[in-house]
Amino acid sequence: MSTILNKLKELSNYYRLTRGVGHTTRMLMGITTANLTTNGVYDVHAPATILTHDGKFADELNKRLEYYCGVRKNVKAIPFSSNYDKILRGRNTPILLDNALLQQLFDEAVEEIEMGKSIQDKLDEKIEKLEREKKELAETVVKLKCEFLIDYQEDNVNKEVPQPTASFLSPLDILTENKEVKSVEIKVEYYQ
């Protein structure tokens, strides 16, 4: 198993097993007491954004932010699940990810990685099977070629060789009529 997959599983399990220990409360306490501004100075009035896993929890957090912030309205919780590709455009504030969103993202990443590995494993098995079949087919062609040459040579032992004559026959007809032919080369090409 890949290292990143193991890391994601560990983080997901950690968040799943440590519900209710204060992840969100600590985040709210930290974001409402001191925020780092763009010039590197801590300012309790600097804006910030908290991303949540759904709209219901974002509303709940915004109510809790009123408790921690009082009248301050520059920290907002917004759901990241809907319109995730547009939520952060144009924002220039620090963002925090709630633990439920982190767990959701970790779970989705694990699921996609494992699905990709499953598909890759099936493709690898199919490729191996096709390679075996290709090898078997090549061995069969070589065997048939050898048997054909042996049969051809046995049929022509002690026979009088006819003199070459002008002919408009196909190469196959020439092969069967001209007893001087000692071997035949068969070329098999595989295309993938």
Verdict on whether the full-model pTM lies above 0.75: no
Tokens at 110, concatenated: 């694990």
Burial readout 58-69 (b: 16 or more C-beta within 10 A, e: otherwise): beebbeebeeeb
Give the model's confidence band at 168: pLDDT under 50 very low, under 70 low, under 90 confident, else very high: low
- pLDDT higher than 80, residue 137: yes
**For the segment 106-121, what is each residue's pLDDT rounded down to a tens digit?**
999 899 888 888 888 8
For residue 36, list its beta bridge partners.
Answer: 42
**For the segment 43-91, what is each residue's pLDDT rounded down to a tens digit?**
666 678 889 988 899 888 888 887 766 545 678 888 987 777 788 888 7
